[in-house]
Structure formats: structure tokens, C-alpha cells
A and B are shown apart, each in its own frame.
Chain A
């Protein structure tokens, strides 16, 4: 396999492109390795443990003492508590938006007003999660600081 590294300008988005005959196990392994470099979380589904790449996560929700990690088409359970995720992912593009949800800011498509001073995040898959009033000032600050 030939490997080419090309330098690009600062104004461009970094990317990795794989040219292959078919997407076999070898290619999947390379993709998994690259994704792992961006951060991983552990989650379980049907008694099997999986590694979940951070950029794939939409949001993490706590429901009745259990914590679930939501992806576009999948959902995994985690043994960690929501506040642990909040601390762990504070420096990444994640933010606590309510008592029960930590959201991936990169997966929010838009923000709309909801009832009673709350806001609704429309995610890239069309799902909606609520920003409760208490967390609105923190989110505004995080977005403003990050946007500068």
C-alpha cells in the first residue's frame, strides 16, 4: 500500500483519504485506529463491550441511575455516571445542557426556543434535546468563548 502525506494550508480542513478496492477488515482497522486518536469511550450493548469514537456520539443521557451513549443509529450503556462524563469531556466539544444530558456540540444543527425559557437543540439526525434554563448561561459562554 502506498502512503502519501500531503501538506495543506491552515485554512483547509485536515483529512485522511484511503484508496482501496473494497472496504475490508484491514481498511476498517485503519479507520478505527484513526478514530481512536480522536478519543474513545467504552460502552456495552447486549453484554458486549464496544469502543465508541467521540466524534460519533450525539449525546449522553442519564435515565434512572443508568447512563446511555447515543449515536446516530445506536445506543450503548455505560457504567460511568453523567457527572463523570461531564468532567471527562469538559475540554472536548461536549457540554452539560440539563440534569440528565451531556451533548456533543459538534452534532447540534441549530438551537430553537422551547417552552418556559428553555431551548431545544436540533441534532444532526433530527432528534431534539432540551437545554434547561439553568444551563443556558454556561452554554452561551462556552459557545462564545469557543467562537472567538
Chain B
């Protein structure tokens, strides 16, 4: 559980950074003249928390296979898309003008989700390389080379 929380926390911080970038790009494209107050700074954090919730809820003590993990990740991503869209657009009537925004947000969430996993994988790659280095030293020491 501790390791799961650690991984989610790491994912949260990567998400907040990427959400910031996505708001900057999407906002610039869809609503370039919009102006915000200080409350705008809290939104990436709220979206980051919303994005981390399914991961915390869907914690499994079971060791999943690669196939099960992929299915779980897809379900988790769709849950995050639904949560964020509900949070952003839930209070508005769905009119044709809002649909491009909903699609834009959904695509952004999916891209961010994939990028979070990509960056986490890069961090894991560095860890794996360090472990392999230590492993080789360990094997050399044990075999007396």
C-alpha cells in the first residue's frame, strides 16, 4: 500500500505539471481572450487530485498480470476522463458549442494520462539500469570474479 501511495503521489505531481501545460495550450487555442483571477492556480491541483482518485480507489492487493494491468489502466483512464468532464461541464447544459471543448478536454486528459505513464516509465528505466549495475557487481562479487 505504501509503495502504491508513493507511485500515486509521483503521478500526481507529474499530472499537475502536464495539466498546467495543457491548460496553457488548450486555453490559448479555444479561449485566447479569457482572463482569470488567482483561483486559476488551484485548478491544476484540483484536476490532479481528480486524476489521482481512481488510482487510489482501484488499488488491488492482487498481483495483476500484464493483460489485467492494461485493462485496468484503460478503465482508470476512462474514469478520469468522465470525472474531469463531469467536474468541468456538469453544471452547464450540453449545447453544441460546448462539445468541441468537451472533446478537447477528453483528448487532453488521455494524452496527459499516457504522458504521466511515459515519464514514470522513464524514472523506472533509470532505476532498472541502476539495479542492473548493482546486480552485475553483486554477481561478480559472489562468483569471486
Pairwise interchain contact B3-A144, C-beta atoms closer than 8 A: no
* Per-position binary interface string of chain A over residues 108-124, scored 1 when its CB falls under 8 Å from any chain B CB and 0 otherwise: 10111111110100000
B75 at the interface (CB under 8 A from A): no
Pairwise interchain contact A13-B145, C-beta atoms closer than 8 A: yes
Within 8 A of A (CB), among B67-94: 69-70, 73
A102 at the interface (CB under 8 A from B): no
**How many residues on chain B are close to A (CB under 8 Å)?**
28
- List of A residues within 8 angstroms of B73 by Cβ: 115-116
Total cross-chain contacts (CB, 8 A): 78
Distance in Å: Cβ of B102 to nearest Cβ of chain A:
29
Pairwise interchain contact B70-A113, C-beta atoms closer than 8 A: no
Query: Are A105 and B135 CB-contacts (below 8 A) given A119-B128, A133-B7?
Result: yes
Pairwise interchain contact A134-B3, C-beta atoms closer than 8 A: yes
Within 8 A of B (CB), among A114-148: 114-117, 119, 130, 132-134, 136-137, 139-140, 142-144, 146-147
Pairwise interchain contact A130-B142, C-beta atoms closer than 8 A: no
* Per-position binary interface string of chain B over residues 106-145, scored 1 when its CB falls under 8 Å from any chain A CB and 0 otherwise: 0000000000000011001101101110110111011111
- List of B residues within 8 angstroms of A93 by Cβ: 138, 142
Inter-chain CA distance A140–B4, complex, in Å, is 17
A44 at the interface (CB under 8 A from B): no
* Per-position binary interface string of chain A over residues 12-23, scored 1 when its CB falls under 8 Å from any chain B CB and 0 otherwise: 111000000000
A45 at the interface (CB under 8 A from B): no
Pairwise interchain contact A99-B63, C-beta atoms closer than 8 A: yes
B29 at the interface (CB under 8 A from A): no
Name the contact of B131 in the complex, choosing from A14, A106, A143 (C-beta under 8 A).
A143
Query: Are A119 and B7 CB-contacts (below 8 A) given A105-B138, A132-B63, A147-B138?
Result: no
Distance in Å: Cβ of A46 to nearest Cβ of chain B:
29
- List of B residues within 8 angstroms of A111 by Cβ: 128, 131-132, 135
Pairwise interchain contact A143-B135, C-beta atoms closer than 8 A: yes
Interface pairs A-B: 8 shortest CB-CB: A113-B124, A147-B137, A143-B134, A146-B138, A133-B3, A147-B134, A111-B131, A117-B7
